[in-house]
Structure 1
Amino acid sequence: MRRLTDLLKNIYGAQVQGDLTVQIEGLAYDSRKVQPGFAFICIEGYKTDGHLFAQNAVENGATVIIAEKPVTVPSSVTVVTVEDTREALAYMGAAFYDYPGDKLNIIGVTGTNGKTTTTHLIENILVKAGKKVGLIGTIKNKIIDRVLPVTNTTPESLDLQALLAEMVDAGVDYAVMEVSSHALELNRVAGCEYDQAIFTNITQDHLDFHETMDNYLAAKQKLFINLGKNSRKSRNKYGIINIDDSKGQSFLEVTHGQVITYGIQSAADVRAEKIDLRSDGVSFTAVTPRGSVDLKLNLTGLFNVYNSLAAVASGLGENIALPVIKEALEEVKGVPGRMEKVEAGQPFAVLVDYAHTPDGLENVLSAAREFTKGRLITVFGCGGDRDRTKRPIMGEVSAKLSDFTVLTSDNPRSESPAEILRDIEEGVKPIIGPEKYTVIEDRKEAIRHALNMARAGDVVVIAGKGHETYQIVGTKVLPFDDREVAMEILKEKFS
């Protein structure tokens, strides 16, 4: 329970009608979750507007309404008008849960690609160093060993603060989290004080939301701009930046923390030399300000060299010894849905990957090409109700890097799968003829076609959905796991 005045202390310009001293039993941004004594925060979403449900919230027991615009509720209800209810939700949530982020070391990873793998690698380093770790991301949320369900890459601010509070109660030392551009733009992480901000890379994605690459970049940079500002913690802050990325320098210029750069091509603080890419992993020497260390990882692809360099830099920022970092990184067998192998005794390789951006697909196919002795066969599609402009670009990437491409449905959502496939084809047709690609809308049949045509020495990459266990068609969420589907087909074929 908290007094309303205490919850509003970091929200400037709030206009209050009613009792500021009222005691708040809980917070909610969904009127159906309101209980007696709650404050209801009206959030304007994409499908509906929380302001329309203020009266419903009152009927369910809300004694306070936080709004951006006028609402009609009984005069006995306190109404607080703020400029931005999303920001208010974040700061009120932090205050309600007694600022759990101040009691944790928080490491945030942002970028178009590599967030999930990088957070998993950092988690393993911290655990190896004897720390208790919480993980927040695309695949799962974890509190030490307890796995929790995921709805967004970065949870809504109130849910995030509740999760961080659970971590504090469990004795967690570090929270390692993926920080999406949506979360930064929508103030989901406002009220969180980060101790490390890590930038992996930036390439085209989410332009359905951000509209321009400049807006997308500006959203990512917020994590670095806010690093160390108005700090409530007495510890060093680190901005860890992929300086090889074309936008890396811009992140370096805006961060307030101490900078650690990493890369392969540049004279970075942490860099990789003597890189040896293989089908079963990658070896390289990590050169750091504290000495060099030879690493032999079970992850393959040049992009995973970058991910592991980011993790090395993060470990160094936390004063973890290089031998501990080495042991932790070499123990990681893989990350679900990231270049994940499907093995059923077949004489060719099958890899499932989450790559759903032009750069992500290029990285995965380039990595696979390094160890493909026969043909590289790619199965992929693009999601509906998302950035349409990347579809032909991804088609072009697959056409250029694959020997054969099977275009198929991904998560079409409310869009016509056939129209999405036509968009992708616009990038394929100028590059290759009809003998080098096919279109099979049914994803299971598309995977079956690729596996049936594969021969010894070939590599089949099934891209786009990775760890996902569902397919969104219209408003339905249907069970579908690329890994399970591929395994089922392979067992039929090779049992």
Structure 2
Amino acid sequence: MQLRDLAALIPNAIVRGNADIEITGISNHSRRLSPGELFVCISGIPGYQEDRHPYAGDAVHAGAVAIVAEHDIEVDVPVVLVKDSRHALAVLSAHFYGYPSRELTLIGVTGTNGKTTTAHMIDAILRYAGSKTGLMGNIGTKIGDTLFETDINTQEPPVLQANLRRMVDEGCSIAVMEVTSQGLDAGRVLGCEFRSAVFTNITQDHLDYHGTMERYIAAKGLFFSRLGNGFSDDPAKRKFAVLNEDDDASSVLRKLTAANVLTYGIREEADVRAEAIQLTPLGTSFRVVTYKGTAEMQVGMVGMFNVYNALAAITAALVEGLTLETIRGGLASFPGVPGRMEVVNEGQPFLVLVDYAHTPDGLDNLLRAVQGVARQRVITVFGCGGDRDRTKRPIMGRIAAEYSDYVVVTSDNPRSENPEQILTDIEAGLREKHDSGDSYELTADRAEAITRAIAMANPGDVVVIAGKGHETYQITSVGTIKFDDREVARDKIRERRGGTPS
């Protein structure tokens, strides 16, 4: 593809140098760039992403044949000057890969909690119905039956569009994507033509990035406003917003979209509603009452929050014309998501659960669900990420103390922060419930914290290890190290039982 053709997509772009050169790819990461590619210098996001303009020279050294930038830079290759390089990155990437979302039914899921589980539930239902699907999110990118690891949830436009193109080329007809607030704010999903936007909930998170809850909700609102402003008499071209009627933010999102709105909920009247909910240690059953009829549903996951996730998935599936009978079969066959209330079982007489809950609402929902199945004590291991919203730390400490019999506070991903300071911030919330430290302890070493929790567990207890879920690493001040809560827990259980660690 010629640089001239790409530059023409940006009406006010100025090309300095020869525009008649061939572009073989697009990248915004100088260390991942291949020879022949166009390097886009995206602007920085303080505390999250570096300005890429200073790396233009490195990109040329790595083989970039042209640069897109917001201001003049000294390099020996053509430069395309644009006003907004992030927007340009999305425009160029979508065009380079042939607008693949136009050839897919694309469903996006956004919200603070439940994105991953809801997206995987939708995918499971669609697969049960016979569709070949693509899935993009926190666990990675799945094309058909093949899963690829990814480094971030909502990917940068060149990677995202390349993955959508690969899905199309490999025969996928429908794809489900987790859409984060940071991804929306950074313009990563610009150029993706979504059929449906699914909203789970809004609770406190990412305030280190957005600053206020109002700005956080506004970022989510971008997803729904970008569904478009038109209507169609072609059912295949209609757009849908699937909203949680029990979440106050839905009233804001409803006003931002011209799409058809369908709602789900438990407390409020909604288009899709759960009744007769039965929560058990083995799973959940409920009656779903919808605009398409009524059916009994079962899902092998516990907790009221998973009823909401299931309702969101049911509504998204109804939009695609699936019957309640097919949806019921898909949910019943759903195996769960790695790191979401995942059981670590080595034959021990107590339950060990690993979960990704890393927000106040997520931890609250998790521990409330665990209380419903625990026969004896609840022992909770958790921490909070460094270089992130400090205000949620005491809140999460208070929640852990409220719903646990014993708490081991530890490191999560401390990043550049002093782990001990993070623990102290959390302890402030714990001390609101417990004046003395006889019901909790602080241990910065996460492996030691898991060891302590498993060592003190008695028959019938539940050990909850929260915060990292499926993650197989820990980000510290000295770099990223290998760390998997599930592996560590499994090894400590085996050691306690006199076995050999893996």
TM-score for the superposition, normalised by structure 2: 0.94
Amino acid of the structure 2 residue aligned with 1:446: A
Q: Which residue of 2 aligns with 1:458?
A: 461
Separation of aligned partners in 2, 1:230 and 1:33: 39
Separation of aligned partners in 2, 1:139 and 1:263: 26
Separation of aligned partners in 1, 2:71 and 2:113: 37
Amino acid of the structure 1 residue aligned with 2:460: G
| 1:277-356 matches, cutoff 5 A | 277-356=279-358
State the 1:31 CA deviation. Answer: 2.9
Q: Which residue of 2 aligns with 1:483?
A: 486
Deviates most, 453-462 or 158-167: 453-462
Q: Which residue of 1 aligns with 2:109?
A: 109
State the 1:238 CA deviation. Answer: 0.9
Asked whether 1:444 is paired with 2:447, we answer yes
Q: Write out per-residue CA displacement over residues 340-397 of structure 1, whole angstroms, 9 at most, x where no aligned residue.
A: 1111222221111000000000000000111222111111011111111111110011
Separation of aligned partners in 1, 2:303 and 2:83: 46
Separation of aligned partners in 2, 1:469 and 1:314: 31
* Identical pairs, percent: 51
Q: Which residue of 2 aligns with 1:25?
A: 24
Separation of aligned partners in 1, 2:352 and 2:161: 39
Separation of aligned partners in 2, 1:331 and 1:9: 49
**Cα pair 2:231 2:238 within 8 Å, conserved:** no
Separation of aligned partners in 2, 1:484 and 1:36: 39
State the 1:55 CA deviation. Answer: 3.0
Deviates most, 161-170 or 355-364: 161-170
Amino acid of the structure 2 residue aligned with 1:49: D
**Cα pair 2:339 2:354 within 8 Å, conserved:** yes
Q: Which residue of 2 aligns with 1:469?
A: 472
Q: Which residue of 1 aligns with 2:128?
A: 128
Find the partner of 1:367 among 366, 369, 372.
Answer: 369
Q: Write out per-residue CA displacement over residues 108-146 of structure 1, whole angstroms, 9 at most, x where no aligned residue.
A: 000000011001100011111111100101012111011
Amino acid of the structure 1 residue aligned with 2:470: H
Change (3 A) 1:219 1:273: same
Separation of aligned partners in 2, 1:21 and 1:32: 25
Change (3 A) 1:255 1:47: closer
State the 1:44 CA deviation. Answer: 2.9
**Cα pair 2:7 2:15 within 8 Å, conserved:** no
Q: Write out per-residue CA displacement over residues 304-337 of structure 1, whole angstroms, 9 at most, x where no aligned residue.
A: 0000000000110000111110001011122111
Amino acid of the structure 1 residue aligned with 2:14: Q
State the 1:172 CA deviation. Answer: 0.7
Separation of aligned partners in 2, 1:462 and 1:334: 17
Deviates most, 296-305 or 3-12: 3-12
SS in 2 for 1:287: strand
Separation of aligned partners in 1, 2:328 and 2:475: 40
**Cα pair 1:193 1:231 within 8 Å, conserved:** no
Change (3 A) 1:397 1:109: same
**Cα pair 1:344 1:494 within 8 Å, conserved:** no
**Cα pair 2:314 2:327 within 8 Å, conserved:** yes
| 1:113-192 matches, cutoff 5 A | 113-192=113-192
Separation of aligned partners in 1, 2:5 and 2:100: 16
Change (3 A) 1:126 1:457: same
Amino acid of the structure 1 residue aligned with 2:13: A
Amino acid of the structure 1 residue aligned with 2:263: T
Q: Which residue of 1 aligns with 2:81?
A: 81
Separation of aligned partners in 2, 1:381 and 1:421: 7
Aligned residues between the structures: 492
Change (3 A) 1:63 1:494: closer
State the 1:301 CA deviation. Answer: 0.4
Separation of aligned partners in 2, 1:246 and 1:254: 14
Separation of aligned partners in 2, 1:59 and 1:454: 56
SS in 1 for 2:366: helix
SS in 2 for 1:285: strand
**Cα pair 1:380 1:464 within 8 Å, conserved:** yes
SS in 1 for 2:88: helix
**Cα pair 1:125 1:329 within 8 Å, conserved:** yes
Q: Write out per-residue CA displacement over residues 169-209 of structure 1, whole angstroms, 9 at most, x where no aligned residue.
A: 10111110100111100011011111110000011111111
**Cα pair 1:113 1:201 within 8 Å, conserved:** yes
Deviates most, 401-410 or 63-72: 63-72
**Cα pair 1:6 1:95 within 8 Å, conserved:** no
State the 1:53 CA deviation. Answer: 2.5
Find the partner of 1:377 among 376, 379, 403.
Answer: 379
Q: Write out per-residue CA displacement over residues 62-87 of structure 1, whole angstroms, 9 at most, x where no aligned residue.
A: 3432111221134xx43222121111
State the 1:230 CA deviation. Answer: 6.9
Amino acid of the structure 1 residue aligned with 2:71: K
Amino acid of the structure 1 residue aligned with 2:166: E
SS in 2 for 1:90: helix
Separation of aligned partners in 2, 1:245 and 1:363: 15
Q: Which residue of 2 aligns with 1:44?
A: 43
Q: Write out per-residue CA displacement over residues 221-252 of structure 1, whole angstroms, 9 at most, x where no aligned residue.
A: 11101013479995111100011012111111
Structure 2 unmatched ranges of 5 or more: none
Deviates most, 447-456 or 151-160: 447-456
**Cα pair 2:229 2:257 within 8 Å, conserved:** no
Q: Which residue of 1 aligns with 2:217?
A: 217
SS in 1 for 2:5: helix
Change (3 A) 1:5 1:458: same
Q: Which residue of 2 aligns with 1:398?
A: 400
Change (3 A) 1:286 1:421: same
**Cα pair 1:345 1:494 within 8 Å, conserved:** no
Find the partner of 2:70 among 65, 68, 71.
Answer: 68
Amino acid of the structure 1 residue aligned with 2:79: V
Asked whether 1:56 is paired with 2:58, we answer yes
Change (3 A) 1:332 1:222: same
Q: Which residue of 1 aligns with 2:417?
A: 415
Separation of aligned partners in 2, 1:83 and 1:262: 41
TM-score for the superposition, normalised by structure 1: 0.96
Change (3 A) 1:93 1:268: same
State the 1:339 CA deviation. Answer: 0.7
Separation of aligned partners in 2, 1:17 and 1:476: 39
- Superposed CA RMSD in Å reads 1.8
